[in-house]
Amino acid sequence: MGKVFWRKMRNQHFSDIAFMAVVYLGLTFALVACAYPVIYVVSASFSSSRAVASGEMWLFPKEISLEGYRLVFQNKTVYMGFVNSVFYVIMSVLIQLMTTMMAGFAFSRRELPGRTWFNLFFVITMFFGGGLIPTYLVYLKLGLVNTRWALLLPGISFSNIIIARTSISALPEDLFDCSKLDGCSYIRYLFRIVVPLSKPILAVFSLYTAVGVWNSYFGAMIYLRDQTKYPLQIFLRTILILNSTIDLEADLSSEDAVRMMQVFATMKYALIVVSTAPIICVYPFVQKHFVKGVMVGSLKG
């Protein structure tokens, strides 16, 4: 294979060779820039607290230890945050898919009364927002503050509805006509025919929503007061802040302060790995639908 590659390269013009060299150098740099932080975090989570805090570990694990994971899994708040995050992800994905597909199907039907006005109304919401304080006041009046609904309802996106509408509009109208002749209602047509044919965009919507909800902490920080409802990212943020505070305020002459700083450093990386692993495990199952689903909105407006 190497001989074939070099034979092809000899037949190429110098400008083409130079261009390919620049491309490969750029890709190599991007690979290193993206891979190094991931390798560093994983290696730090398996290294001893002393090696991480002292800076001796810079790429691969040193003085391999599971102390960070032991501290993470011994913390009951981590379990609580993990369960809450899984709940928020599952419910947000279900709400997102249900509302997106139903709204996209409605907008795809030309016989929908007031279709143009509904489109205009929803498009305005994409460009204009009330801001944080008005939104908080609305949530407060609706009784959503300090409830799980405060994190579930804002996930509805009209941009996803537009993509769903485009995908559904691309389906042959004969499908609807044939199903209507067989006595199929709008609801049955949506769930029996449209949804099974829309698996690529459903996979993309699910992945985008799951990643966004799993990594989000700002909404919980603003709207939630009960710690039993906090997602995992809030606890990760708390540990990161504590670690930074210890770095700034600790008396390095105190052995207890140094030890605490080392422990928080190891626990921080272990918690990052634990909080990132579920999303990484989910991605391979939706990857085959990803490219097709992303291209739907670019093929037909």
**Ranges of each domain in the chain:** 69-301
Number of other residues whose CB lies within 10 A of the CB of residue 54: 13
46 by DSSP, 3-state: which?
coil
pLDDT of residue 300: 46
pLDDT of residue 88: 92
pLDDT of residue 87: 92
Phi, psi for residue 172 in degrees, rounded to 5: -60, 135
Chunked in runs of 10, what are the mean pLDDT values of the chain (301 residues)?
A: 58 71 89 87 81 76 80 81 90 89 87 84 79 86 89 78 85 83 83 85 85 86 88 80 57 59 75 82 70 52 43
pTM of the model: 0.78
> Which runs of E-coded beta strand occur in 15-145?
none
Q: Which of 224, 222, 269, 214 is closest to 243 using CA atoms?
A: 269
What are the DSSP calls for 215-275, one per residue?
H--HHHHHH---GGG--HHHHHHHHHHHHHHHHHH--TT-HHHHHHHHHHHHHHHHHHHHH
What architecture does CATH give domain 69-301?
Answer: Orthogonal Bundle (1.10)
